[in-house]
């Protein structure tokens, strides 16, 4: 079996390289009363008064968005966002394995710079940082610049392309 055949076999077996798991226990009524309702209201109200507390009370401080539009994926070129998903999942797996950082892929169905910037800006409150990945140049630089200039995006933005 060559590498391509093995890759297809493994990707079929894995059905993705990442998953979301609960860090909080949720197996009893008491667990649920703390992790969800009614107990979850207390941290919500504190974050409402000081949104920086979202870094203390949620996983946001350790969560990175890996964002692509699929226009410059590895040596494959413009293959689209869905076709780029295996690479984004792989990047997320690397974040976890080598940095213990939780990362989540966001594959955006637009090549428009402003669409991508606005999408990332709207989701910035869920993440501690954004990795722009496999977005074609020079758009990747323009997207990074625009995001860093926005007042409503107060998290690190970077790319390695």
Q: Give pLDDT tens digits for 118-145.
A: 999 999 999 999 999 999 999 999 999 9
Question: What is the mean pLDDT of the segment spanning 95-103?
Answer: 98
Point out the residues that are catalytic: 36, 91
Helix, coil or strand: residue 129: strand
Give the start-to-end residue ranges of the domains of the chain. 26-57, 59-161
pLDDT of residue 100: 97
Question: What is the mean pLDDT of the segment spanning 146-158?
Answer: 97
Name which of 118, 93, 115 is nearest 104 in CA terms. Answer: 93
Give the integer Cα–Cα distance in Å for 124 and 144. Answer: 13
In the predicted model, what is the mean pLDDT of the chain?
97
Calculate the alpha carbon distances from 88 to 92, 131, 136, 142, 148 in Å: 6, 10, 15, 21, 22
Give the integer Cα–Cα distance in Å for 25 and 29. Answer: 10
pLDDT of residue 1: 85
Instruction: Please give the CATH topology (third level) of the domain spanning 59-161.
Output: Rossmann fold (3.40.50)
pLDDT of residue 109: 99
Environment class of residue 48 by beta-carbon count within 10 Å: exposed (0-12), middle (13-18) or buried (19+)?
Answer: exposed
Helix, coil or strand: residue 103: strand
Question: What is the mean pLDDT of the segment spanning 53-82?
Answer: 97
Q: What is the pLDDT of residues 9-57, one digit of tens each?
A: 999 999 999 999 999 999 999 999 999 999 999 999 999 999 999 999 9
pLDDT of residue 135: 98
Model confidence band, residue 161 (pLDDT cutoffs 50, 70, 90):
confident
Q: Is the pLDDT of residue 83 over 90?
A: yes
Q: Are the beta carbons of 130 and 158 closer than 8 angstroms?
A: yes
Q: Residue 66 — left, alpha, or beta (φ > 0 → left; ψ -120 to 50 → alpha)? A: beta
The distance between the two most distant Cα atoms of the chain, rounded to a whole number of Å, is 58
Give the integer Cα–Cα distance in Å for 128 and 130. Answer: 7
Calculate the alpha carbon distances from 60 to 63, 70, 73, 108, 142 in Å: 5, 25, 27, 21, 25
């Amino acid at each position: 079996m060559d590498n391509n055949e093995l890759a297809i076999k493994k990707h079929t077996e894995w059905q993705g390289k990442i998953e979301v798991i609960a860090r909080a226990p949720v197996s009893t009524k008491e667990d649920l009363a703390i992790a969800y309702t009614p107990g979850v209201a207390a941290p919500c109200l504190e974050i409402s008064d000081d949104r920086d507390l979202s870094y203390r009370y949620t996983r946001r401080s350790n969560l990175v968005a890996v964002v692509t539009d699929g226009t410059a994926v590895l040596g494959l070129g413009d293959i689209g966002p869905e076709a780029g998903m295996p690479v984004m999942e792989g990047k997320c797996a690397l974040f976890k394995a080598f940095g213990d950082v939780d990362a989540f892929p966001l594959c955006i169905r637009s090549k428009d710079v402003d669409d991508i910037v606005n999408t990332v800006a709207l989701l910035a409150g869920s993440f501690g940082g954004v990795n722009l990945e496999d977005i074609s140049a020079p758009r990747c630089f323009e997207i990074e610049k625009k995001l860093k200039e926005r007042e409503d995006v107060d998290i690190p933005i970077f790319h390695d392309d």
